Amino acid sequence: MENKVLEERMNYKCTIAALLIIRKSLGALPVEIFEILATAIKHLVKENLIEYENIGANALCWKFLMNYSFRQDDNNKNIYYIDPFMLDKPQMIVDTTMPDMVFSGMTLQGDSYV
C-alpha cells in the first residue's frame, strides 16, 4: 500500500511539473504536449535520471529545465527530442504515433550519439 501511495505522489509531482513547464514557457509550448512532458518526466524519475525525493513539483520542473531541452522534430511533428545538457545522459526520442509512448535512448560520446 505504501509503494502505491509513493508512486501516486511521484506521478502527481511529475504531472504538476509538466504543467509548470508549459506555463513557464509563456505559451511557446502547446497544451497538446502536456502528456508527452508528463510521461517524459515520469520516465526520467523512474530511471533515476532526475532526483525527485524531498522536492516539490516546482523544484522538479526546474530540475528538468536545467538539465534537459525539449523540442519537436522539424520534419516530423510526431517526434519530440529530450536532449540532456550533460554529456553522459541519454537522449530520448518520443514517437507519439506509437500505441504507447516509446522512448529510445542513445548516449552522447564525444560528438556523436551511439
- Domain count of the fold of the chain: 1
Query: How high does pLDDT run on average in the chain?
Result: 78
User: Residue range 46-75: average pLDDT?
Assistant: 86
> Residue 110: what pLDDT?
42
SS3 content of the chain, % helix, strand, coil (to 5): 45, 25, 30
CA 28 vs. chain centroid, Å, equals: 17
> Residue 27: what pLDDT?
62
Please count the other Cβ atoms lying within 10 Å of the Cβ belonging to residue 76.
11
Strands (E), 10-77: 68-72
> Residue 75: what pLDDT?
92
pLDDT exceeds 50 at position 20: yes
pLDDT-based confidence at 114, cuts 50/70/90?
Answer: very low
pLDDT-based confidence at 1, cuts 50/70/90?
Answer: low
C-alpha closest to that of 39 among 101, 87, 89: 101
> Residue 26: what pLDDT?
61
Range of the domain at 100: 2-113
